[in-house]
Amino acid sequence: MDNQTIKTTVLIPHYNNLEGLYKSLESISSHPKVRVLIVDDGSRAEQRPGEAELQKRFGQKMELVLLLNEQNRGIEHVLNQGLEYILRHFPDCPYIARLDCGDICHPERFAIQERYMDEHPEVALLGCWVNFYDMEGNYLFTYKAPLDERSIRKKMYLKSLFIHPAVIMRTSAVKEIGFYPYDYPAAEDYAYFFKFVKQFPTAIIPQSLISYIWNPSGISATKRKKQLKSRVKVIWANRNFGNLYFWLGLLRVCALLLLPYSWILFLKRRLNIQ
């Protein structure tokens, strides 16, 4: 496959979820062609992806690169390992996208995102709306973020407006900003995207381009307290006393710390919020 035809490298971290990985890869359309970098974070032998099997099943529709870690290092390390590999080996690839194992791409996801980034060269980070489903495939809610850049800048204090596995980033901006931080455990994406919002124009497409599978064993549920405490640190690190949403964001996180996660999920479904 001619590397010059590939505009997007999709970074997928993997850990003991081979079925989810295959589902995600199957959802990626072959047009436009993308490169997929899978970083396995020390999975068990029976759950570790194999180069030959991946190439057999998916090699005709995408370029595949597989990195295997002997030991589990954690999501921040894996994401940065992936970014470092992309910047070293594919520095001229203009876009870096994210996807998590089990999440399903809209058939035109990358065509839509690439076209938007091509037409808006000032935008460094692009998100979208996202449909949320439970592990049984039942629809939960649709996450709808604000669209205009001014609202994004203000309301980032309330929450991360960019759903991590749905984003696409401009490689030149990644080179300037650097890697994911290590001092915000379970909220590294929130801290990272805050850097984009403060330094570059960003945007969100008003269309659901991925189906996000809510996993009760995922970080948002199992490391909820740690994640919320990290969010407080992110908000404070980017403090703006003159922005009402800075104060509202702090209050919101404090309220979330007091509520059971089952209540939060119920409110999300009822009020259609993230």
Q: What is the CATH number of the domain that holds 67?
A: 3.90.550.10
Q: Are 264 and 216 within 8 A, CB to CB?
A: no
- Higher confidence at residue 159 or residue 1? 159
Average pLDDT, integer, range 153-157:
96
259 phi, psi to nearest 5 deg: -100, 140
- Higher confidence at residue 201 or residue 274? 201
Q: What is the per-residue pLDDT for 1? A: 43
pLDDT digits (tens, 9 = 90+) for 166-219: 999 999 999 999 999 999 999 999 999 999 999 999 999 999 999 998 876 655
Per cent of the chain over pLDDT 90 is 82
Domain that holds residue 134: 3-271
Which parts of the chain fold into alpha helices (H)? 18-26, 51-58, 75-89, 109-119, 149-155, 171-177, 188-199, 219-222, 224-237, 244-258, 261-271
pLDDT digits (tens, 9 = 90+) for 69-79: 999 999 999 99
Q: What is the per-residue pLDDT for 274? A: 46
- Check the CA dihedral 13-16-17-21 and report its sign: positive
Structural domains counted in the chain: 1
pLDDT digits (tens, 9 = 90+) for 226-260: 999 999 999 999 999 999 999 999 999 988 888 76
Q: Which residues contact 228 (CB under 8 A, 6 or more apart)?
A: 253, 256, 257
pLDDT-derived band of residue 224, with 50, 70 and 90 as boundaries?
Answer: confident
Q: What is the per-residue pLDDT for 11? A: 98
pLDDT digits (tens, 9 = 90+) for 106-153: 999 999 999 999 999 999 999 999 999 988 889 989 999 999 899 999
Q: What is the mean pLDDT of the chain?
A: 91
C-alpha of 242 from chain center: 29
pLDDT-derived band of residue 263, with 50, 70 and 90 as boundaries?
Answer: low
Residue 268 has pLDDT above 70, yes or no: no
Q: What is the per-residue pLDDT for 264? A: 58
